Copies of this chain bind each other. A is one copy, B any other.
Amino acid sequence: MQPLIHTYAPELQVSNWVNTEKELSIQEHRGKVIVIYAFQMLCPGCISYCIPQAKKMSQLFSSEEILLIGLHSVFEHHDVMGIDALNVFIHEYKLAFPVAVDQASTDSTIPQTMSAYRLNGTPSLIIIDKQGLIRVNQLGHVDDMLVGKILGQLMSE
């Protein structure tokens, strides 16, 4: 993974929430490890790697241990990855964790949270420590064992 200067995680900019009764805030979960998994529903690498890994996280870790949020950051083919299509995707892939729809920009194809976190594409794995600092911000696949190690370490801080 690339080295990273730790900065405070910006708040998510979200147009829709799925699988949660209330909006989730980075700020309000200070004290908990937060995993944000940015994906697009029609991105093959996301389907192959991100979705199974996110499902495994949600099975292995309790909601006391981590807050896991899927972030649907659509930066291409916007017309066919709207909220209706995403709802079908979440239903068919049996995703049980909260999913946020990244708020579209008015002047860019890149949605707002994706810009704020300077993501280079999807899938991107973001891990935020208990203090609210971004500790991982990685495009592409990160090995399961390495993800587990990092989460284990951050939980213990």
Contact = CB atoms under 8 A, between A and B. Distances in A.
From A84, A147, A153, name the one whose CB has the most chain B CB atoms within 10 angstroms: A153
Interface residues of A, number: 34
From A43, A56, A85, A93, name the one whose CB has the most chain B CB atoms within 10 angstroms: A85
A31 interface: no
* Chain multiplicity (copies): 4
A6 to B, nearest CB: 17
Contacts of A47: 47
Interface string A79-104: 11010110011001100000000000
Contact of A149 (B44, B77, B80, B148): B148
Contacts of A4: none
Nearest to A61: B149
From A56, A85, A88, A148, name the one whose CB has the most chain B CB atoms within 10 angstroms: A148
Contacts of A56: 143, 145
Contact of A144 (B57, B61, B88, B143): B143
Given A80-B82, A148-B150, 11 more contacts: A42-B92, A44-B92, A44-B93, A60-B143, A77-B88, A144-B144, A145-B147, A146-B148, A148-B148, A152-B153, A153-B153
